[in-house]
Amino acid sequence: MYNNIIMNITLSMSSRGLVYFPDALQKRLKLKKPGKFTIKLIDDNNILIKPVKDIFSMVGKLKSPTGKKFDLEKFRSEREQNYERL
């Protein structure tokens, strides 16, 4: 099923259910913190974990028509002040 394994890494889960990705895996997959992932249950012994890209991952990829630089931290701060978390 998995003939092309590139890395074999053991992950740890905390008592609170948090899973930690080792630095080598984070670098290999170019993961940024904080991050989101989807997990698909393949069968009783195998899962597939994929990083989820959100709108914030696109910051800096596109050019603004006005030429102004987008300040992500300012945007997040303003949203957190103006909106209640669910």
Q: What's the mean pLDDT in 55-60?
A: 62
The reply to whether 59 falls in a domain is: yes
The answer, yes or no, to whether the previous bond of 51 is cis (omega within 30 of 0) is: no
The reply to whether 53 falls in a domain is: yes
The reply to whether 67 falls in a domain is: yes
pLDDT at residue 83 is higher than 90: no
Instruction: Give the tokens for residue 17.
Output: 């259910």
CATH code, domain with 63: 2.10.260
Model pLDDT, residue 86: 55
| DSSP conformation letters of 27-60 | HHHT--SS-EEEEEEEETTEEEEEEE--GGGGTT
Model pLDDT, residue 64: 66
The reply to whether 74 falls in a domain is: yes
Beta pairing class for 46-52 and 12-13: unpaired
Model pLDDT, residue 85: 58
